[in-house]
Amino acid sequence: MGDRGLVLLYPGQGSQYVGMGKAFYDAFPEVRALFRRASEILSLEMERLCFQGPEEHLVLTDNVQPAITLVNMACSLVLGLQGVRPGATAGHSLGEYTALHVAGVLDEGAVLQLARLRGQRMQEAADRHPGAMAALLNLSPDKVSEICEACDIEVANINAPGQIIVSGTHTGVARAMEMAAAGGSRRSIRLSVSGPWHSRFMRPAQEQFALDLARYPFKDPEHSVVANVDADYVKDGATARENLARQVCAPVRWQESMERLIGDGHRRFVEVGPKRVLRGLLRQIDREVEVWNVEDPKSLDECLKGIGCG
């Protein structure tokens, strides 16, 4: 039985680090078995990739996307072994794949294979159309839109009040950072990414990936899942597939997604996967909700006590 008020959140690309998932791998035979199956499914040595790297190998887009997805799945598996069942799930960009998997929309093999295909298609598009991304801080959405129009770039992520990510050409993003500083931004941060994700330059990836998605079965969700592209609940498997194709180019409406869940009465959230990026964003969106994270035995114990399972 799921806890209708509990939402599990899954991080995406950017949360990776060498060694992620190792503590749960060492502590749970079920996680070790999951890693073995993933290595066979992907024909990659996932233990070596996640635990040894090196970082310059791990961060390659077609490596990091299945790696983060696997670690998200491992952390979620451990929570499930403790009897935790969510009432809803959501994932940030790539994290939406784990959110759909936990909701029963995608099986284990499909979610891992699609995460890798997504990374491959995106990197192929980025090789054809190189670009950059940056976080513009402490500016209104209207001001960011004005800057994007002037610089011919796009909004890629609306993460939290005062944190919007933009994506486009190297020169466009550099100019946007200059305009943001002149417009009152406290600071702008160029992101360490290998392409202009969630922009029109990903159109070739979207078109190819839509064909990839069509080869996999999508079931209807077993619980509520909020999608990045429209901050709305996924109605059925067909909608989930369509959303994942659109997501490649569309902006991630994370702030709106969280506000949707909070507005519908969800007050307890757990970030499930490496680092605590989403936990930090949620605190910026609404400081009244309760939020934990789970990525190793220590954080697991704290979470279980917090939600009343420990």
Minimal CA–CA distance to 17: which of 279, 281, 277, 297? 277
Cα(227)–Cα(233) distance, rounded to whole angstroms? 6
| Residue that the structure tokens 């490596």 belong to | 63
Active site residue 198: yes
Collect contacts of 228-233 with beta carbons under 8 A, ≥24 apart.
228/91, 228/92, 228/93, 228/96, 228/252, 228/253, 228/254, 228/257, 229/253, 231/256, 231/257, 231/259, 231/260, 232/260
Helix, strand, coil shares, percent, the chain, to 5: 50, 15, 30
Check if the beta carbon of residue 241 is closer than 8 Å to that of residue 213. yes
User: Which of 93, 167, 188, 299 is flagged as catalytic?
Assistant: 93
Active site residue 93: yes
User: Which of 92, 101, 198, 223 is flagged as catalytic?
Assistant: 198
Peptide bond into 11 cis (omega under 30): no
Laid out side by side, the sheet with 154-160 consists of 154-160, 163-168, 132-137, 188-190
Question: Which residues are within 8 A (CB) of 235 and not within 5 positions of it... i.e. 6 or more apart?
Answer: none
Cα(284)–Cα(277) distance, rounded to whole angstroms? 11
How many other C-beta atoms can be found within 10 angstroms of the C-beta atom of residue 299? Answer: 19
SS3 89: strand
Q: Active-site residue numbers?
A: 93, 198
